[in-house]
Structure 1
Amino acid sequence: MTLGSQDLERLDQLFCSMQDANACFLGYPFAKDFKYEPLWRFLKFTGNNLGDPFEPGTYRVNSHAFEREVVDFFAQLFRAPDRGFWGYITNGGTEGNIYGLYLGRERYPDGVAYFSRDSHYSVSKAVRLLRLEYAVVDSQSHGEINYDDLARKASGGRNRPALIVANIGTTMKEGRDDTSRIRAVLRDVGVREIYIHADAALCGPYAPILSPKPPFDFEDGVDSVTISGHKFLGAPMPCGVIIARKSNVQRVLRAIDYIGSSDTTLSGSRNAYTPIVLWYAIRCLGIVGIKRMFDQCERLAAYTCDELNARGVGAWRNPYALTVVFPPVEEAIKAKWQIATQDVSHVVVTPGTTKDQLDTLIEAIADTGR
């Protein structure tokens, strides 16, 4: 297989374009400081993690063993019940959110979904795909769900189960919902059947090491947790992990004869490369390495917030957040640095973000306000 010179030139141009863009994006949570050269050799295989990662199957060009180790790592991190959990590696947080709500719907088919206005757009997509009745709950100014509005919305459906999406780090402000308080609010208004899915896309790998730790794991009463692998740990492609209570997964299990395994995942055929990438990351880092990376990022986030304020830009962040929030930036800055913007703009300090990059952005934002 050989390309002509024009096609090769186009590939070179694309590489240069992506390389330039990669050097100056700060508005989206993607870790940049990773090196996976020892894993490139696996790309020569038709790797497919078909079927349930915890069952043998007919197709063996897979990385199921490594996938199980990744799932076990996060199950322990999120205090999942021994032998009572199940999980798999997804294509990203959107798949994890859809899967979590899918399990909730199968457990409570007549349930009503509740999620805040600051939830990721994949949640509204999920409730439409799953044809769930839902209510959007107001958020507080810092991104956390408004518990009083949750009580008002849920009181109208107190005789029906509640399917809750709790945000453990909202997209724009990194607000964190308190799952223990959510459950208490629902109980107070008379809801007795509750399924809580935690969207911990960005914060999941480091939230357990925070002090105080936000209530969001299985011992705090959640039924499923999803994270993104590319946002904090780092990966060259979007990926994620979903951990759920095994009893809920068994409701969706279907045996598929021709693959010699069960169909328990959402996507069926799945990339065999991403489990190896995530396994490599957690084996290199461990909990100590994750904490070290978080501490470095958090110090830079604090620095960025302080420097913006010192230059007259009204910046702020939630406690221990890697997301620094400030007024919407001008289009030129938004375009160059790929700054996510709604009612506010933000920068997300993930591993690989440098002080030099942040200083350049800080000066650009400050200059536009002079």
Structure 2
Amino acid sequence: MTFSPADHTRLEAFWRYCLTHQYFNVGYPESADFDYSLLHRFMRFSINNCGDWNEYSNYLLNSFDFEREVMRFFAELFHIPFEDSWGYVTNGGTEGNMFGCYLARELFPDATLYYSQDTHYSVAKIVRLLRIKAQVVASQANGEMDYDDLVARIAADGERHPIIFANIGTTLRGATDNIATIQQRLAQAGIRREDYYLHADAALSGMILPFVDAPEPYSFADGIDSICVSGHKMIGSPMPCGIVVARRANVERISVEIDYISARDQTISGSRNGHTPLMMWAALRSRSMDDWRERIQRCLDLAQHAVDRLRAAGIDAWRNPNSITVVFPCPSASVWKRHCLATSGDTAHLITTAHHRDSTQIDALVDEVIADLKAPGKPVTLSPLQAPLVDGLGSRNRVYSTVGQPRPELLPGHARPERDSGVARLKGSDI
């Protein structure tokens, strides 16, 4: 490639910008501690994983062998026999969620999709793209689904085949919808297991819960039908990517034969990035299961450190069980913009990902948040809903949760769902 001096200058400036900001993301769950330099040489090739990695394709420049090993890893991680599963490396969590919802719609074409107020915004897009009936379910104060509201809405709709979208770690509060509770409530309502579909969005926590001592239900052994995880979050990747795993029997419903590549395709995107399976393979092969456990525990410890410091200063900070998302009152715009915090209404959060090797960056942020929120005219008190819970394993596993506590009628920043022809709509910024 030949560039002008001005173009060279522009690229050099962007290089310096990236170096300066590569660890900016305190408010977003991307792990930036990766090194894929061994794979740089493969960027000279157009690697396209079009079709099923389990079959021959006459497009020879693919990374199917590596993708197959990645999917075997996740099948084992999520407790489903490899031969009973199928999935692929996606462009990110949204594609994984769409794939799960697509399978559910093909299984139950006229069914209603139920997802909570705290669900990622992409699901509203998926609902429109797939033209699925949908209902937004209320959330508890900690971001977890309100199970009473779920069964009430299913009953009111007379829905015989509900599609349940469960969050395994919500975007803002890091809450996990309890899969066991959902299934118990559906059984009590007289809905048989074969009559509903359960998709799990585990974009971040899918690489956390398998490595902690007391995880919430998250796997196929717990009753899910499909699950997606982001590759650029806890794993770490220079480009957005992810994986989705589903029951093979359900995937067969959407498989189509593509004659010009001599292969089948059952993906959303068709032509797929062949480099990201290489990256996921390299990340998974370069760490042992014990390495992953240590990595996750370090992030959890750092999250608890942030909670402890903020609460010691009288600020209402908390996190859900097994979550690296620390929730606290939103500071001034000058603070959250400088640290790139994620905010919603009067709430902000920080996320302790793996490139935070120590507490230096977190402490700098916490110092500013404390100074800002404790400034004159900004009283911050501890909420009675955020009582400390100790799980008996010591302070390193202590969390602050509202599970089992009285639930406010509506959370700050949330609009009340409005029923409209069987589809729940949210006002304003909640869409």
Same fold at TM > 0.5: yes
CA distance in structure 2 between the partners assigned to 1:158 and 1:56 by the alignment: 45
Q: CA offset at residue 23 of structure 1?
A: 3.0
Whether 2:123 is the aligned partner of 1:123: answer yes
Q: CA offset at residue 82 of structure 1?
A: 4.3
Identity of aligned residues (%): 43
Distance 1:159 1:303, change over 3 A: closer
Equivalent in the alignment of 1:275: 277
Are the counterparts in 2 of residues 115 and 165 from structure 1 also a CA contact under 8 Å? yes
Equivalent in the alignment of 1:245: 247
Pairing of 1:231-310 with structure 2 (within 5 A): 231-310=233-312
Are the counterparts in 1 of residues 84 and 249 from structure 2 also a CA contact under 8 Å? yes
Are the counterparts in 1 of residues 211 and 296 from structure 2 also a CA contact under 8 Å? no
Whether 2:286 is the aligned partner of 1:323: answer no
CA distance in structure 1 between the partners assigned to 2:157 and 2:280 by the alignment: 41
CA distance in structure 2 between the partners assigned to 1:62 and 1:95 by the alignment: 20
Equivalent in the alignment of 2:78: 78
CA distance in structure 2 between the partners assigned to 1:208 and 1:10 by the alignment: 43
Residues 209-235 of structure 1, C-alpha deviations (whole Å, 9 max, x = no match): 223221121111110010001100111
Structure 1 unaligned regions, length at least 5: none
Distance 1:35 1:267, change over 3 A: same
Q: CA offset at residue 159 of structure 1?
A: 4.3
Structure 2 unaligned regions, length at least 5: 376-431
Residues 303-355 of structure 1, C-alpha deviations (whole Å, 9 max, x = no match): 01111112232211112210100001211122121111013100010100241
Tell me the SS of whatever aligns to 1:20. helix
Equivalent in the alignment of 2:9: 9
Greater RCO structure (CA 8 Å; 6+ sep): 1
Equivalent in the alignment of 1:367: 371
Pairing of 1:146-157 with structure 2 (within 5 A): 146-157=146-157
Tell me the SS of whatever aligns to 2:172. coil
Moved more, 17-26 or 258-267: 17-26
CA distance in structure 2 between the partners assigned to 1:312 and 1:185 by the alignment: 38
Pairing of 1:95-110 with structure 2 (within 5 A): 95-110=95-110
Are the counterparts in 2 of residues 24 and 336 from structure 1 also a CA contact under 8 Å? no
CA distance in structure 1 between the partners assigned to 2:230 and 2:25 by the alignment: 18
Equivalent in the alignment of 2:224: 222
Tell me the SS of whatever aligns to 1:88. strand
Q: CA RMSD in A?
A: 1.1
Distance 1:64 1:82, change over 3 A: closer
Tell me the SS of whatever aligns to 2:243. strand
CA distance in structure 2 between the partners assigned to 1:316 and 1:248 by the alignment: 39
Distance 1:82 1:89, change over 3 A: closer
Amino acid at match of 1:364: E
Q: Which runs of 4+ in 1 moved over 4 A?
A: none
Equivalent in the alignment of 1:92: 92
Equivalent in the alignment of 1:138: 138
Equivalent in the alignment of 1:356: 360
Amino acid at match of 2:349: H
CA distance in structure 2 between the partners assigned to 1:44 and 1:140 by the alignment: 50
Q: CA offset at residue 187 of structure 1?
A: 2.3
CA distance in structure 1 between the partners assigned to 2:203 and 2:62 by the alignment: 25
Distance 1:334 1:58, change over 3 A: same
